[in-house]
Amino acid sequence: MKVVLVAPNSSAHTVTPPLGLGYLAACVQQRGHEVALLDLARRRMGAEGGVRELALLEPDLIGISILSTAYLPARELITAIKQKMPSVPLVIGGPHVTAVPDDALKNLGVPLGIIGEAELVFPQVVDALAAGRSPDGELSSLCRLVGDEVSCSRRSPFIDDLDSLPFPAWELMDPRTYPDLPHQLLSRKFPVGSVMTSRGCPFDCTFCASTTLWGKKWRTRSPENVVDEIEMLVKDYQVQEIHFEDDNFTLKRSHAAAICEEILRRGLDIVWSTPNGVRIDSLDDDLLDLMRRSGCYALGFGIESGSQEVLDINHKRLNLEKVAGKVEMVKSHGIETNGFFIIGLPGETVDTIKETISFALKVPFDRANFGLLAPLPGSAIFQEQVLDRSRNGAIDYKTFNYFTPFPMGDLDARQLNRWQRRSVLRFYGRPHQMWHLLRNTRPGQVKEILKALISYSN
């Protein structure tokens, strides 16, 4: 059977290989099926072009992974597929389907969906359809749309042995074919390879969907397995920079240290960063020295707010009093720092936003991101502020990005937009920060960075 896995287009300024589909592709290949991967985001291609490309590939089965931030283009694509290729079976999955399977299957009109980690389930679905039969009703993590009702079987347990998974099918998403627009837009070298060394998060921040998607148990790949993949990316695809995309790369010090030591032991000439961020309170001098020597040049930190009260309301377990000292310690090792902030969290007021701006200016961050709150499906905020309010109406997915305001409390949309703009202008209006941004921008990234800055001003 020929399976085509599709990543829908999105409005994101960054474009990175879809790791989830890469893992799925490799697992389906192990069962002897032919797999192609169509990344419409990489080609900035909408529904019409996507269907044309799909028709050329002549799939027997189409699988689509849906991010909530790309729900609207995914819906357009699925509508076009059903019109132009109605005889081809369609299966959907990914973070959005995992978080809201009923809403996804009903509103997209797709009969089959998979929730949770799909690496063990999706190949069984492919086997069944290849044999001309419906997937077994006892199969876990499978959702079906029958009439107007969605029923889901018991969700599969999370995969404990991550080393048991094959590497993503990198031959289907060659890093050299991607634009120079990696996660967080900036990089030092090209090509860039994205790697996940762990899954799961023990924390319960109200704005994050990680525990819904990956569970609370933190699971890791072995350092040898991780660096085997890095070494393969370097040798086979000439990758020069690695982005560790974990939610919690440094959660366990020994895990991060062992990966750094293995990189050094093998003499891999790479640089690396953590664009998804790390827990700033997990770092110490010895670990930072090891990270720097193994190629680390930048670390991101999810600070979220400069108000301790807002952090506490949103279950962000972070002591703001310790942040400045930690940032200075990181910079003393020659590692760049990037602070991530969210404007519009529950408990936010004009005064707490001012606290956030003041905090970002006071702490010596090299860069800072100020995104508006996105009520991501699977997060506590989505459950309380979106689902519980929309029992009798449709969900407005236009707000599922980091530039469209999602007003709560006393702040309206205009105020949120204005304060987001003000945050960016205050931070990057300083000559040192603007020079740092320009100096570290590669030629292929200039246009998209300008577009991102314009997004803040609209």
State the residue for tokens 């694509």. 77
Task: Give residue 361's pLDDT.
Answer: 97
Task: Give residue 440's pLDDT.
Answer: 81
Q: How far apart are CA 192 and CA 384, in angstroms?
A: 38
Strands 219-220 and 198-199, sheet pairing:
antiparallel
Band (89; pLDDT cuts 50, 70, 90)? very high
**Which segment of 107-111, 235-239, 401-405 scores lowest on mean pLDDT?**
401-405
- In angstroms and rounded to an integer, the radius of gyration of the C-alpha atoms of the chain is 22
Task: Give residue 245's pLDDT.
Answer: 96
Continuous segment of H or E residues that includes residue 27: helix 19-30
Phi/psi region, residue 218 (left: phi>0; alpha: psi -120 to 50; beta: rest), is beta
What is each CA distance from 122 to 5, 27, 42, 125, in whole angstroms?
Answer: 11, 8, 24, 5
CA dihedral 349, 352, 356, 361 (to 10 degrees): 120
As a whole-number percent, the residues of the chain with pLDDT over 70 amount to: 97
In the chain the domains, ranked by start, together with CATH numbers, are: 2-152 (3.40.50.280), 174-457 (3.80.30.20)
Task: Give residue 445's pLDDT.
Answer: 79
Q: Is residue 455 over pLDDT 70?
A: no
Q: How far apart are CA 383 and CA 319, in angstroms?
A: 26
Q: Treating both helix axes as pointing N-terminal to C-terminal, what angle do 71-84 and 47-57 enclose, rounded to 10 degrees?
A: 50
Tokens of residue 398, six digits:
């236009």
What average pLDDT does range 335-340 have in this prediction? 96
Q: How far apart are CA 78 and CA 61, in angstroms?
A: 13
Task: Give residue 439's pLDDT.
Answer: 83
At 145, phi and psi to the nearest 5? -105, 115
Q: Is residue 388 over pLDDT 90?
A: no
Q: How far apart are CA 384 and CA 409, in angstroms?
A: 13
Q: Is residue 336 over pLDDT 90?
A: yes
- 455 or 62: which leads in pLDDT: 62
* DSSP codes, 82-124: HHH-TTS-EEEESHHHHH-HHHHHHHHT-SEEE-S--TTTHHH
Cβ–Cβ < 8 Å for 31, 123:
yes
Alpha helices in 281-366 (DSSP H): 285-293, 308-313, 323-332, 350-362
**Which segment of 240-249, 266-275, 310-319, 442-451 scores lowest on mean pLDDT?**
442-451
What average pLDDT does range 353-362 have in this prediction? 98
18-31 tens-digit pLDDT: 999 999 999 999 99
Task: Give residue 396's pLDDT.
Answer: 82
Cβ–Cβ < 8 Å for 374, 11:
no
Q: How far apart are CA 373 and CA 381, in angstroms?
A: 10
Tokens of residue 191, six digits:
């090509």
What average pLDDT does range 234-257 have in this prediction? 96
Helix (H, G, I), strand (E, B) or coil at 246: coil
Task: Give residue 441's pLDDT.
Answer: 81
What average pLDDT does range 144-163 have in this prediction? 95
